[in-house]
A and B are shown apart, each in its own frame.
Chain A
């Protein structure tokens, strides 16, 4: 008489799978890397002639950071907390101040730091400059379309981003 084939008990399979599942759940790190994205300018080619495009003084916001982490904006000692407001005023120039930029498209922010500047402050400066642009873009989006920038279709978003084009020129530090 043939013995009936004994069935493998699959009841504990779920337990084993659960155990493995919990292991992977715990070890998984969904840490998406976040940060401030910038694009570096390409290295100038060696035999490329120095093209000196003349830029009017008023269209450049000079931000200097020294080795003691002190900030100089257009020749005036400034606190980092003031930088965003000053940048926004400079780019948009709502009062048509002859010392500030002619139009948002012509505005250039020039950033120069020292080799002794702390990385933290450098990031804070970048952050404030970016915040200034982001706030201006958002304000324009709300003014024109009554919605936040992220809610606009991409073509409109690019339109606004072009209007407030972020131009940050970084000089190579000395010292």
Chain B
């Protein structure tokens, strides 16, 4: 009997499962993507700091933006710093209502973990920030975060 070494062709790698893999990745990104819900109407450049912490749960954070109105709105609202809640300009007295709405949108167990993040421009004066702080104290929303970006050099 003659044993002849047969040249085996290398089998092509099956790409049939490639769409599945890609779809899996796709779903992952679709689920994790959070489209920005609010249009910023105020200009905010957050201050820099070194001792910053990450906010753990994004869904449990409500944002308050403070800054001067962007150019589009300057003719109407001037250049004094303003507060933006959700999609509209607001006054400090509207914060209590805003916090109530944020609480109502969450389940009861989540309410104590709600955090308010103040995204204020670094040029803003403390007066308006203090007003916001006082309103938050009145509304008993005591967990607060001053949004800042990381500064690398240390004093």
Give me the interface of A with B, judged by CB distance under 8 Å: 10, 13-14, 17-18, 20-21, 24-25, 27-30, 32-43, 80-81, 83-84, 113-120, 122-124, 126-128, 130-131, 134, 172-173
Contact = CB atoms under 8 A, between A and B. Distances in A.
Q: How large is the interface on B (under 10, 10 to 19, 20 to 34, 35 or more residues)?
A: 35 or more
Contacts of A113: 126, 130
Nearest to B35: A27
A14 B88 CA distance: 42
Query: Is chain B's interface secondary structure helix, strand, loop, or mixed overall?
Result: mixed
Interface in B20-79: 22-23, 25-26, 29-30, 32-36, 46-47, 49-55, 58, 61, 66
B51 to A, nearest CB: 4
A10 B16 CA distance: 9
A24 B29 contact: yes
Contacts, number: 152
Contacts of A20: 26
Interface of B: 15-16, 18-19, 22-23, 25-26, 29-30, 32-36, 46-47, 49-55, 58, 61, 66, 115, 117, 120-127, 129-130, 133-134, 136-138, 140-150, 154-155
